[in-house]
Amino acid sequence: MKTVYLDNNATTQVAPEVLEAMLPYFGDRYGNPSSMHSFGGQVALQIREAREQVAALIGATPDEIIFTSCGTESDNAAIRSALATNPEKRHIVTSRVEHPAIRSLFAHMAGQGYRVTELPVGKSGILDLEHLVGSLSPDTAVVSLMWANNETGVIFPVEKAAELVHERGILFHSDAVQSTGKIPIDMKKNAIDMLSISGHKLHAPKGIGVLYVRRGTKFSPLLIGGHQEKGRRGGTENTPSIIGLGKACELASRRLEKGNSPVRRLRDRLESALLARIPQSRVNGDVSQRLPNTTNISFEFVEGEGILLLMNEYGICASSGSACTSGSLQPSHVLRAMGVPFTMAHGSIRFSLSVYNTEEEIDFVTEKLPPIIERLRSMSPYWTSVAHACVSA
Amino acid sequence: MWEYTDKVREHFLNPRNVGEVENADGVAEVGSIACGDALKLSFRLDENKRIKEAMFKTFGCASAIASSSALTEMIKGMTLEEAKKVTNQDIAAFLGGLPQEKMHCSVMGKEALEKAIENYQGAPAKEPGAQIVCECFGVTDREIERAIQENNLTTVEDVTNYTKAGGGCSNCHDAIRQIIERVRAEAKPAVQPKLTNIQKIKMIEETLEREIRPSLKHDGGDIELIDVIGNRVIVAVRGACAVCKASDITLKHFVEAKLRDLVSPDLVIEEVAP
């Protein structure tokens, strides 16, 4: 069975060009970039190039790029550094819809005695900047807001937010794991102090991340060790993955120049066909302020896990914000923060596309999904009574 | 991804008896859309008062649908007295087991069956005196008590897995903990015969060996049984535990709790004077 992979916000396929760029560094180019001999030195040159490629994608300078092991490490390094360099400040601000990497970290900090403010979002998942401004005080050490939401794709006005935060002398961090490579990011044009990136969300392998730290920002390292990354992150470099990430960023830059239009076109094709063919379905999140590859659709009166397992029978991969799939008993914290009713939240499915998807794949999904929803609804005790009421109303 | 058995998968992909029985003798609806699963069960009896037909409609995950399908298959042909004896464990067993976090799906089946029978027999739909403990999912103390008794549950997490109680805002965790303590205290005397001293020492040694040492050793520590005087268990801590500031917390909360649970509820742990 062919796999139709529409779960690219979870992870992505390593691009063939990226794999090709990496392979020599698993083979005969195994030198340590810190070595004095040219056998290691040639690897250092490649890492320098990769650093330039990453910097170019986000409009940074190469010395502002720190390679880490993942997005979670970047988030931890950023927030812990902000607190370590502002020891007198005890208040931190984030939003209610952050990725668990930030949510859990902030919950942990609350346990350490920090005062945490979680900013609410509106029905469409958009952040109200007035709430942000109202939450800030001289005691605030750092504000962390995601650039784009992993579940809905909704984009936060982080650049405007960073400006408001920065002018009050407070550090601003953004988890840009989902937005990097999907929408333009230019660090020259904003006031964001620190930014987290993860390789495996943009066709580089798992196990490589980046923390951008703006030049001049005080930084206290999370991993203390060798002089790697200018002493800001100890540990011998993950050379193949760094080189792979550089390549992936170069590919992403090229796609961004074209506005990521092929992915956007496929996403829109999928979304409009599903909404047209499946009654009582709707998109979660603002459709204008949104990543080009993501759509989060709720199918009312059915439960997400059943949808995923029936799609799985056709090799279709997606994910759900339902309680049953999360292992907890509550549906997605993102959808709940947006006030999505339970009838909708339990039946939410996130489709996240990539440049490798094809029109045939999208048409396959729009053909297979309507009968799946119909089948589950025919089993649901809520469907008949409510649906008839809606139709006749 | 959940590890479902082939039987669960099969009942999810090809559910039996979906729908509503016409002219049903007993009908019940449990769960709610807020909790993420709900089941409507209906049955009809034949002239010998055996369940002739049983059907379901379920909103919920794969295991909820499979549990409902299994239930309707299991109770067909049963008298109501026989059906009353079906437990959530039986439903899970019929499916070759359910993941721990999904056991509440089998409990939902059991509840629906019970309520449908009550509906037929005209018994009160709600157990007298039952109080809602978990506001988020509307779970009563009686339901929690029964789940603890029937499945030998010991932690709040267990109770959540089986009943959903405590899975939301977690405000009721203390209340659940109290119910667990009460039910287990009530249950203890009945199941635990009095131990002779030799049996007690042997069981303590076995418990230390099997349940406690591996965890302590994992952290570089160890424990040694010095003596047992009545219900006082005298131990010495070794290795990392000997220098660990938290070791008396470990002794009270972990070692003593385990021994009380598995040997005798009256045991008190004491550390030998250094």
Contact A381 B38 (CB under 8 A): yes
Catalytic amino acids of A?
324
pLDDT digit string (tens) for B135-144? Answer: 777 788 988 9
User: In sequence order, what DSSP letters do the residues of A99-164 get, joined into one string?
Assistant: -HHHHHHHHHHHHTT-EEEEE-B-TTSPBPHHHHHHH--TTEEEEE--SB-TTT-BBP-HHHHHHH
For helices B156-163 and B103-121, angle between their N-to-C axes, nearest 10 degrees: 60
CA nearest B60 in A: which residue? A303
- Provide the pLDDT confidence category of residue B229 given band limits of 50, 70 and 90: confident
pLDDT at A204 over 80: yes
pLDDT digit string (tens) for A288-297? Answer: 999 999 999 9
Distance CA A8, CA A336 (A): 23
Cα→Cα distances A312→A6, A307, A319, A323, Å? 11, 8, 11, 18
Residue A300 sits at the chain B interface (C-beta within 8 Å): no
The pLDDT, as a whole number, for residue A392 is 41
Closest CB to A301 among B37, B59, B64: B59
- How confident is the model over A13-37, as a mean pLDDT? 97
Residue A385 sits at the chain B interface (C-beta within 8 Å): no
Would you give the DSSP letter of residue B252?
A: I
Closest CB to B36 among A301, A309, A346: A346
Q: Å from A376 to nearest chain B CA?
A: 8
pLDDT digit string (tens) for B76-126? Answer: 999 999 999 999 999 999 999 999 888 888 999 999 999 999 999 986 655
Q: Å from A247 to nearest chain B CA?
A: 32
- How confident is the model over A319-339, as a mean pLDDT? 79
Catalytic residue flag (residue B35): yes
- Which residues share a beta bridge with A197? A210
Contacts of A311 in chain B (CB under 8 A): none
Contacts of B108 in chain A (CB under 8 A): none
Q: Å from B253 to nearest chain A CA?
A: 21
Contacts of B33 in chain A (CB under 8 A): 301, 342-343, 346, 382
- Window A:307-336, CB contacts with B under 8 Å: 309-310, 313, 322-325, 327-331
Residue B77 sits at the chain A interface (C-beta within 8 Å): no
Distance CA B40, CA B113 (A): 10
Q: Å from A8 to nearest chain B CA?
A: 17
| Encoded tokens for A236 | 């011998």
Residue B105 sits at the chain A interface (C-beta within 8 Å): no
Q: pTM of the prediction?
A: 0.80
